[in-house]
Structure 1
Amino acid sequence: MKCLRIYATPDGESHFDEIELPTTSLSVHPDAVPFDVTASYPASRVRLTHIPAGMREVAWHTVPEPVLTVRLDGSVDYETSDGEIRHVQAGSFVLVEDTHGKGHLSRHSPEAQTVIWISLPNGLEMAQS
């Protein structure tokens, strides 16, 4: 399963990358079709965030700790310091790890949005693609 990632290099510049979250096939019921499931990853806290309608752009910023964001509705365009822009729609998740440096810019769609923030321990190792 692919996951978009925002990270910072030692010089403080932010970039995008995609990581591969390995999955296994899991059948939860004898009559159900199996589906793909990732391994379990430790999390230190979960927050639900409501972004009000009309909040368009959030200035350059970093995150205080690595977070997996899960966008329930609305969309956002993220820009990294190298100038690359990625559009993230509802139903998508992004691993945000730029805890130092210039950070990233967020441009939100005009409607209100709900985002789940899952805080991850520093040093979480995932397979990179």
Structure 2
Amino acid sequence: MRYNKLYADAAGESHWTDIDVPLEQRSFAPPAQAIEISDPVPATQMLFLRLRAGWDEPAHPTPLAQKLICLRGQLRVTASDGAARVIGPGDVWHMEDTHGKGHHTAVMGDEDFLSVIVQHG
């Protein structure tokens, strides 16, 4: 498994990188068979988010470290270094650009963007 990570360097420039999530086969819900699962990641709260079709805001940093899991729709997210990624259904976006220039986000197409956000900071 893999997720998209957006982070800010010491100069405040945001960049994309890919993070591979190691999975290990182990017993998770006995007596069910062992499954491939990652190590747990601490979380403080979970939120649901909807961005309406046409949403397009100025660049901004994320308020705290969080992961967004896309349920429906698509976003185009552009780092301050100019690199862009499309976040769509099933994608996970780890936001860690809590300072600096941030990122620009716009909903693509005519469909609202629906997601779950898991905060851990």
* Number of residue pairs the alignment of both structures matches: 117
TM-score normalised by structure 1 residue count: 0.83
1:24 maps to: 24
Return the alpha-carbon distance in structure 1 between the equivalents of residues 92 and 112 of structure 2: 17
Provide the secondary structure at the position in 2 that maps to 1:48: strand
Return the alpha-carbon distance in structure 1 between the equivalents of residues 38 and 77 of structure 2: 25
Segments of structure 2 that go 5 or more residues without pairing to the other structure are none
2:113 maps to: 113
2:81 maps to: 82
- CA RMSD of superposed structures (Å): 1.5
1:43 maps to: 43
Shift of 1:73: 0.3
Paired AA for residue 19 in structure 2: I
Return the alpha-carbon distance in structure 1 between the equivalents of residues 42 and 95 of structure 2: 16
Return the alpha-carbon distance in structure 2 between the equivalents of residues 51 and 26 of structure 1: 37
Provide the secondary structure at the position in 2 that maps to 1:72: strand
Return the alpha-carbon distance in structure 1 between the equivalents of residues 104 and 42 of structure 2: 27
Paired AA for residue 14 in structure 1: S
Query: Identity percentage over the alignment?
Result: 27
Shift of 1:26: 3.9
Paired AA for residue 80 in structure 1: A
Return the alpha-carbon distance in structure 2 between the equivalents of residues 97 and 6 of structure 1: 6
Return the alpha-carbon distance in structure 2 between the equivalents of residues 76 and 99 of structure 1: 19
1:22-68 Cα offsets, whole Å, 9 max, x none, are 211245524xxx5421111111111101112332x221011111000
Residue pair 2:52, 2:107 contacting (<8 A) in 1 also:
no
4+ long deviations beyond 4 Å: none
1:64-79 equivalences in 2 (<5 Å) = 64-79=63-78
Return the alpha-carbon distance in structure 1 between the equivalents of residues 104 and 92 of structure 2: 17
1:104 maps to: 103
